[in-house]
Amino acid sequence: MIKNKQAEALPSSLTLQEFGKAMSQVDLSTVSPENRRLAIFDHLMRVMADTIEDGTKASEIRQARLNRVLGGRV
């Protein structure tokens, strides 16, 4: 099955350059090498939730992030 990922994209208030700058703001200096992938993913989710124009989807992302951080204990 072929999917058009662009058609499924959610509008955001960020330009590509702003997204790059936002992602470069994550500080990994205190994160162990084995946890860096998760720290980057968590930062990405935060940036997405803060910039997606669809409030419902942004709320869903925030809830998913919280569930991941708390291990589903909410």
Q: Has residue 26 been placed in a domain?
A: no
Angle between helices 36-51 and 16-24 (to 10 degrees): 140
pLDDT tens track for 17-33: 999 999 999 999 999 99
Q: Which helix (H) or strand (E) holds 35?
A: none
pLDDT tens track for 36-70: 999 999 999 999 999 999 999 999 999 999 888 77
Global pTM value: 0.78
Q: Has residue 13 been placed in a domain?
A: no
> Domain range spanning residue 53?
34-74
Tally the domains of the chain. 1
Q: Looking only at Cα atoms, what is the longest distance across the chain? A: 42
Q: CA dist 55 to 6, 18, 25, 61, Å?
A: 19, 20, 24, 10
Q: Has residue 5 been placed in a domain?
A: no
Q: Has residue 7 been placed in a domain?
A: no
Q: Has residue 39 been placed in a domain?
A: yes
Q: How many CB atoms lie within 10 A of CB 47?
A: 19
Q: Has residue 4 been placed in a domain?
A: no
